[in-house]
Amino acid sequence: MNCEVVAIGTELLLGQIVDTNSSFIGEQLAMAGIDSHHQTKVGDNHDRMVAVLRQALGRSDAVICCGGLGPTQDDITRSAIAEVMGVELVRNETIAERISAMFSGRGRPMPQNNLLQADVPEGALINPAMPGTAPGLICPLTGEHNGKVIYAVPGVPWEMKQMMAAGVLPDLQRRSGFTGVIRSRTLRTWGQSESGLAEQLDEEIRRLDVTGDATIAFLASGWEGLKVRITCKAASDPEADTALDREEEIVRRIIGDIVFGIDDDSMESVVLQLLRERGRTLAVAESLTGGLIGSRLTGVSGSSDVFRGGITPYDRELKRSLLGCPDVPAVSEEMAVAMARGVCRALGADSGLAVTGVAGPAPLEGNEPGDVWIAVHYDDETESRFLKMPFDRERIRQFTCIQSLNLLRTRILASS
């Protein structure tokens, strides 16, 4: 079975809203074992919506419409689906009562327009999840498209996600006849390009194409690193976990220690855990990143038992007075090393991380934008690294953040 995704809304075409819903739905379909070969966007125009739905049904077994289920004049997904089904819209009194109850429960008057959300194509089933006022629809088709189905979910992400889990995916799996499980595990990496990883794993990917043991996919995620997703089909959860364990071991053996975590791990959560396991504390000195590193560290729940704090001395005089740095160029190895050691003394930590550099757009003291020095003080030793990044100002700061945390990670592991 294959399923097409149709995202509805003129705002998507105008770029006013980024369509993250289609990405999420596509990922969920893949994890559920449902093929998806097309994704389409269409504006709030009845005729064009009908044409897109008919085109989708001509090449797919199922269609998921996302958006256009609200109470306003441009929310016309229900009527477009009704025309494709060849039926009329009918008032579902049960849904009408639920919508009215939602408003009264909040102590708010209900605009009469909201009752339009209770008008559904005749023969449509209602998604069992209804977190908002828009009901999701499961619309079996007859006639020309007999046996096919259209699902409608709201464009509000948290409502859409609940309806996908409660009604859409279970119904799709039932129709497809697939009774096993599909599980994925994501290896989080840093330090290699997507093309470089693909080259390293080429032989293994070719082997998997033949054996069908698993699939490997790549997802570049900016300063979150490059994700390598392993997916396996199996008859049961234990069998899937065994297959994932086996394939993860193979992938790690091929690509080495650029893997810093799995699934929901982040570079900062991994670094904090490594320090926690060794009874160490951390302080950071950020000239270039201006608090980004500290922000990411404090974004991890429980980080206070490891992270002592940070100092962001943009001014050179503050580097001297707060961190005891010598009179050396602001962007230099000597400055980065002195900052890493100085922040440990200033904040009473036994590990220090420091960054200094030029974010741009103008050069500074002979250094070009993208020239960055990082230093890590750990186990009474200081290691430094020079980076040259051809990015814009924001990406220079972001990539410096993860590069510096990764340097600390590798330094901790090397000292173990």
CATH code 3.30.70.2860 region(s) in the chain: 181-262
Q: Which of 67, 63, 69, 82 is nearest to 121 (CA)?
A: 82
Mean pLDDT (the chain) is: 94
- Tokens describing residue 52: 């897109």
Indicate if the alpha-carbon torsion angle 244, 249, 250, 256 is positive or negative.
positive
The domain 267-415: what is its CATH number? 3.90.950.20
Q: Which residues contact 271 (CB under 8 A, 6 or more apart)?
A: 282, 297, 405, 408, 409, 412
Is the pLDDT at 43 greater than 90? The verdict is yes
The alpha carbon of 81 is separated from its chain's Cα centroid by a whole number of angstroms, namely 31
CATH code 3.40.980.10 region(s) in the chain: 3-176
Q: Does the 181-262 domain belong in CATH 3.40.50.10680? A: no
- The pLDDT score that the predictor gives to residue 175 is 93
| Cα gap 291→313, rounded to integer Å | 10
- The pLDDT score that the predictor gives to residue 304 is 96
pLDDT in tens, 65-115: 999 998 888 899 999 999 999 999 999 999 999 999 988 888 888 888 888
CB 337 within 8 A of CB 306: no
* Model-wide pTM > 0.75: yes
Superfamily of domain 3-176: MoaB/Mog-like domain (3.40.980.10)
pLDDT in tens, 149-192: 999 999 999 999 999 999 999 999 999 987 778 889 999 999 99
Is the pLDDT at 268 greater than 90? The verdict is yes
